Amino acid sequence: MARLSVYSDTDPSVAELSSADPALVTAHLALAGVLFERWPTPQAIPDAADAQAVLDAYAGPVAALKEARGFQSADVVRMPRGLPDAAARRAAFLAEHTHDEDEARFFVQGSGAFYLHVDEKVFRIVCGAGDLLSIPARTKHWFDMGPDPEFTAIRFFTRPDGWVASVTGDVIADRFPKFESETGRVP
């Protein structure tokens, strides 16, 4: 279940809003131009299932989103616990950046936190199984998968080369609560 926290971009010490109410999460993110949906989840997908099995389990919603939003392809990314290069993988997404296309991700299993820097606010949305988030092109954001990531997600692309990140150079991400502060998970 998703949890949204909204901060002033100058004061990460206190969230102005914190809610797990799906209607409130959806409405607040919509005000920032962000699509958030909850998709029904089928029975548990085995950890050993390949990417095609994951895509097949969500074939209907994946096809509908691709058509509605102009995505040309989708793939599956898995981050199992205990990866030896977890710190480097995490660091690759922690800098504030933008993309020239929408970034859409559906969480099949596990969780991660997106931080959206919109106007003078930072929206932290912790997504879990069943959550779809689509961030509009050129929206400043970063992603935190935590110190010991664990998630499976379907990613959607409009370009064949996928998302190309343009780092903003702002160190804002260094000031905000990390993913583990929401989940209570520690390294």
Answer for the pair 20, 2: CB distance below 8 angstroms, yes or no.
yes
Residue 117 marked ligand-binding: no
Q: Is 97 annotated as a binding residue?
A: yes
Confirm whether residue 141 is marked as ligand binding. Answer: yes
- Is 99 labelled a binding residue? yes
Q: Which residues are annotated as a binding site for Fe(2+)?
A: 97, 99, 103, 141
Q: Which residues are annotated as a binding site?
A: 97, 99, 103, 141
Q: Which residues are annotated as a binding site for Ni(2+)?
A: 97, 99, 103, 141
